[in-house]
A and B are shown apart, each in its own frame.
Chain A
Amino acid sequence: MQKNFVWLDKITCENADVKPPLRNILAESHISAITIAVLLFWSLNAAFHALWSPLFRVAKYLFTAVAILGIPYSGTITFEDRVMLFATISYLFSALVSFAAAWLLARWVYGDGPLRSLSRYSNRIARKNHA
């Protein structure tokens, strides 16, 4: 018999010309799992970038407060503050969008959340390798 791809063995087709649905192909070919992982990674990366500047500012403020043993001067909102706020909101939006995309894809393909889907997927891969 001609060697078929692994994922095709799991799909039962009565008719030889039947093509499996896109959802099954994405699930069995590992494409959806990789997409979910990439989107989650981008989401985490964007969230880290979003929080980096505000956390840095807070840390700087606290260190200055400890160094001078008082309350540091904080003036009005400058242009730099507005730029930082704009960048933070952009990164937060990117993080939210990436996570939402990962969640929607995971719900559509696996019927579960992204983390649980990846966990189940890794268990399945481990079982397959063990066997």
Chain B
Amino acid sequence: MLNRFKQAVVDSFIGAIALGYVLAQAILHFVNIFASPVAGWLSRKQYGGLMPHTATLPGFSPQDALPDAVRFFVLLLVWFVLLRWLYFKPHKKEIPD
């Protein structure tokens, strides 16, 4: 049952499309791990004037990278598990009788 489902997912390209999309998402989240703190710092600098002066805004904060880091690792894990399940299959040679 599970093997038939796997075969159907592979043969219908649904697995390839899903894995391709997840890989693209993971790549962009990886880049955002480094870009998010810079973007956060820039937007705080840009729009900080709109906030009341009583609130103190942090400057460059590496914590901004945390959501993207979590997303990247979860997506990569899901991607690798699915890839291993669907496509990592050692070639089995036919043994003649």
Contact = CB atoms under 8 A, between A and B. Distances in A.
Interface of A: 1-5, 7-8, 11, 13, 16-20, 25, 29-35, 37-39, 42, 82-83, 86, 90, 93, 97-98, 101, 105
Given A16-B90, A16-B91, A98-B28, A3 B20 contact: no
B8 to A, nearest CB: 12
Contacts of B16: 29-31, 34
Interface in B76-97: 83, 86-94
Given A86-B43, A97-B28, A13 B20 contact: no
Interface of B is mostly: helix
Interface residues of B, number: 29
B7 interface: yes
A90 B39 contact: yes
B57 interface: no
A7 B87 contact: yes
A4 B91 contact: yes
Contacts of B43: 86
27 contacts: A2-B92, A3-B7, A4-B91, A4-B92, A17-B90, A19-B90, A25-B83, A25-B88, A29-B10, A29-B15, A30-B13, A31-B23, A31-B83, A32-B20, A34-B16, A34-B17, A34-B21, A35-B20, A35-B21, A35-B23, A35-B24, A38-B21, A42-B28, A86-B46, A93-B35, A97-B35, A101-B28
